[in-house]
Amino acid sequence: MDLVVKLVSSPWFWADIILSISGGLIVAWGLAVENKAEKKIPPPDFRPDIFADIAEAQKREVERSWKILMTGIVFEVVAAFGISVISGLEIADLKDKSAAATLEAKQAAKQAGEANERAAKFDADRVMVEKEAEEIRGTNFVLQAKLLELEGKQKPRTITSEQQTNLIACLSRAPQKGKINIFASVIDAEALDFALQICDVLTKAGFDAHCPTGFAPDAMISIGPPGTSIVVKDVKMPSPQGAYLQRCFMSVGIEIPAINSGDANFSSNSVEIDVGQHF
């Protein structure tokens, strides 16, 4: 269809058409002249000596008709050749354009493939960035938790008014309320203050609590772990009083682990609370 459109729109095509039509008309003219000359054929009894002029005229007429016919045929051949050449050129041009279009399509497909590869790489990079961002967020959460833990450790230990109320209520129900020694270093203001708060709660709950005061020998802790500990004879067989104390403190969110005294003379029924330095 494209070839037909190209041929029809070409001026050379119409020149060939005109040439072909002209050749056809000339051939028709030559045939008409020849036919007219043939009608003038002399009768059988023709005498050349009498009709010499007529015969010569007829001969010229026939020769003229052949010339016209040959001219028309030449026109037809040239026109046919011209159409063939024009068609060939147009076909070659269409092939070139088709090859160019095919090349452009291949280039477009290649560019599309490269674009898809870039998009896939972009998606992979985006996933990686999101993963790294998630890891960073997770790391930040861990760091924030550690920071809060560190801040909590740096804050002075204290027993809130609500904890004090609940502790007194719990300790007041203890089945046994014996003597409890509370030790803290008087040179550690934070530890001494927390020890005095524990002593105050135990006293209000009805225990015989001995609190650290001044520079008395029983107020000093020369060796001991950091934090707050309940000291018993044997943690595997703690005294009922020591176990109850630990449960009451844990019920209000204050953890006080139990440790062995390490003193052979330490009574199995004795209980003391050591307040070491803050973590």
The predicted-structure confidence for 228-277, as pLDDT tens digits, reads as follows 999 999 998 888 899 999 999 999 999 999 999 888 888 888 899 999 88
If you average pLDDT over residues 11-36, what whole number do you get?
A: 66
Same domain, 106 and 188: no
Q: Is residue 30 part of a domain?
A: yes
Q: Is residue 127 part of a domain?
A: no
Q: Is residue 124 part of a domain?
A: no
Q: What burial class does residue 16 get, using C-beta atoms within 10 Å of its C-beta: 0-12 exposed, 13-18 middle, 19+ buried?
A: buried
Q: Which of 119, 146, 174 is the last residue of a domain?
A: 119
Q: Which of 58, 89, 119 is the last residue of a domain?
A: 119
Length of the chain: 279
Q: Is residue 101 part of a domain?
A: yes
Residues spanned by the domain of 266: 161-275
Strands ordered across the beta sheet of 179-184: 208-210, 179-184, 271-275, 228-232, 258-260
Whether 14 and 52 have beta carbons less than 8 Å apart is answered as no
Provide the domain count of the chain.
2
Q: Is residue 250 part of a domain?
A: yes
Say what the pLDDT of residue 58 is: 59
Same domain, 105 and 176: no
Whether 23 and 76 have beta carbons less than 8 Å apart is answered as yes
Same domain, 7 and 63: yes
Q: Is residue 145 part of a domain?
A: no
Range of weakest confidence among 89-98, 105-114, 179-188: 89-98
Say what the pLDDT of residue 222 is: 45
Same domain, 99 and 185: no
Same domain, 30 and 103: yes
**Exposure pattern of 161-196 as b/e (b: 16+ CB <10 Å)?**
eebbebbbebbeebeebeebbbbbbbebebbbebbb
The per-residue pLDDT for range 153-178, each reduced to its tens digit, is 678 999 999 999 999 999 999 988 98
The DSSP line for 116-172 is HHHHHHHHHHHHHHHHHHHHHHHHHHHHHHHHHHHHHHHSPP---HHHHHHHHHHHT
Residue 11 in tokens: 């001026």
If you average pLDDT over residues 41-52, what whole number do you get?
A: 55
Same domain, 115 and 210: no
Q: Enumerate the H helices of 161-207 as residue ranges.
A: 161-171, 189-204
Same domain, 10 and 114: yes
Q: Which of 119, 143, 170 is the last residue of a domain?
A: 119
Q: Is residue 229 part of a domain?
A: yes
Same domain, 18 and 86: yes
Which has the higher per-residue pLDDT, 64 or 216? Answer: 64
